[in-house]
Amino acid sequence: MKPLILLVSVFLLLLFIQKWRKQPLAYFVAGRWALSAMFLFTAVAHFVFSEGMALMLASYIPYPFFWVYLTGIIEILAAIGLQIRAVQRLTALLLIIFLILILPANIYAALQTVNYQTASFDGPGLSYLYFRIPLQLFYIFCCWFFGFASKK
């Protein structure tokens, strides 16, 4: 929920600043900055809550901390890539693939009632998926719309 709030807040704040400065509203630019802020925020969680994030991976996946740190680094690089015109479309496309690939970890974590912030198994469980899956689809749409589909 926090990443969604950050995404929407940064987007609206940037549009407000543009309006206040009497600039034309640059929705795609604001959207890419909002996505970058969100991915930086979620990347931090990979390093701060790495133990809990490792619990989100099935036990048969080797080296869970490697994958947690790698995905955190990927999110940082993606946040940067969204701001570089030459690679923003490629970055958006790779983010869409990334979001699809990490969805099973979110489903597994919900089934196991993982609370990644406390590294325990007292999370919200299956009810989380009713929010998380549509949210993941929304993030995919945002990556496509603001990154891949934009012409600026």
State which residues form the domain around 83: 2-148
Mean pLDDT of the 16-40 span: 93
pLDDT at res. 124: 85
pLDDT value at 71 more than 80: yes
Angle value at C-alpha 3, between 77 and 44, nearest 5 degrees? 45
Using the structure block, give the residue that is written with the tokens 């689809």: 137
pLDDT at res. 150: 64
The pLDDT tens digits for 96-145 are: 999 999 999 989 998 999 988 899 999 888 888 888 899 999 999 999 99
pLDDT value at 147 more than 90: no
Q: Distance (Å, rounded) from C-alpha 33 to C-alpha 123?
A: 30
pLDDT at res. 97: 97
pLDDT value at 152 more than 70: no
Total number of domains constituting the chain:
1
Mean pLDDT of the 36-46 span: 97
pLDDT value at 93 more than 60: yes
Check if the beta carbon of residue 118 is closer than 8 Å to that of residue 52: yes
Q: Distance (Å, rounded) from C-alpha 104 to C-alpha 55?
A: 13
CA-based nearest residue to 103, from 86, 122, 128, 69: 128
pLDDT at res. 47: 97
Q: Distance (Å, rounded) from C-alpha 121 to C-alpha 119?
A: 7
Check if the beta carbon of residue 133 is closer than 8 Å to that of residue 103: yes
Please tell me the pTM assigned to this model.
0.91
